[in-house]
Structure 1
C-alpha cells in the first residue's frame, strides 16, 4: 500500500509541475534506495521468457551480482554496476533484460525498465552508456530527484532512441518487451 501511495504522490506532483505556472523542473521524493533498486532490478530479472526457462541458468559476471542483490546482499552491486534514471514521459512500458549498445567505439551491456514517470537503467560499473540527462542513483541517498525538464527529451526512450553515425543496438526479441497499461 505504501508503494502505491508513493507512486500516487509522485504522479500528482508531476502532473502539478507540468502546469504552465509551475516554477520548478524537478520533483524530489524520500525513498529507501536499496529497496527501490531491489524492486526495479527484480522486475528486470523476472522478465523471463519461455525460451530462457528451457535452458539451465548460466554463470554471468553481469547478472550474478544483480541476482545476489535482489536476494538480499545490499553490497553485491556496489563494485559491479551503476544505476541511472531519468524522466520517462510516455505511457508505453519498456523492459529490456539485456541490450548491447555501441557508441563512439565503446560497447557495453545494459538493462532497462521504463514506465511513466521513470526510466531505470543498469550498466556495468564506470563503463555504462546512458543519456546525458540521466542521474546516477546513489544507494546511500534518501531522496530520488527527478528532473522533469524537456532537456534531451528525444533520448528519453534510450536505448531505443534514434541511432546516429556508428551507434548500434543489439538485442533479442525474447528479452525485450514493449507494453501499454490497461485503460
Structure 2
C-alpha cells in the first residue's frame, strides 16, 4: 500500500525501495505492473509549462484554430495521436516547406515521429526545395503554400484504416489505400494477421 502512495510523488525510487526492503528495480517493476506513474521529469515539466504559456493563435491569421504551438493530441503515455485533424495540420506545414525539425519543435514532438507520420500519410518528397528551419513570422501558417507541392497532395480517406492520406493526382486511380492500409492488405494476403 505504501508503494501506491509514495511512487507517484517526488520521492526517489531508491528511498522507496529502502523503505519497502526491496531493490529499486523490483519497486519500478511492481509499480509498472500496478499502472503507477512517476511525476513529470524536470525536462517534461518545462516543456509542458512552455506549452501552457503559449498564446492562442489569433483568428486573423489564416491558420486552423487548433494549431497552437506545442499542443498536440497525445495518449497518456505521451505518444502522438495522428487523427484527421493532426494529419491535416502536418500537411499544411509540409506544403509551406517547413523542415521536419521545425514541425517537431512546433508540435512538441520528436523529429523521427514527424518523419514517419509524413511517410505514412503519403506526403510528397521535398528534395530540391529549400526548407524553412524557422518561421519568418509568429504564425507559421501565414507563409504561402508552395504551389507545386500543394498540387501533388490530394487528400483521401483510406478504406481500411479510415484515416486521411495524401497522394499524387497521377496515382488517384491506382492507389486506394494509405501506407498502413496497404501494409495491412499485404499482411493479410501472406496469411499473417498480427
TM-score band, normalised by shorter chain = under 0.3
TM-score by length of 2: 0.23
TM-score by length of 1: 0.24
Give the strand-richer structure, 1 or 2. 1
Could you say which structure has the greater relative contact order, defined with CA pairs below 8 angstroms and 6 or more residues apart? 1
The higher radius of gyration belongs to 2
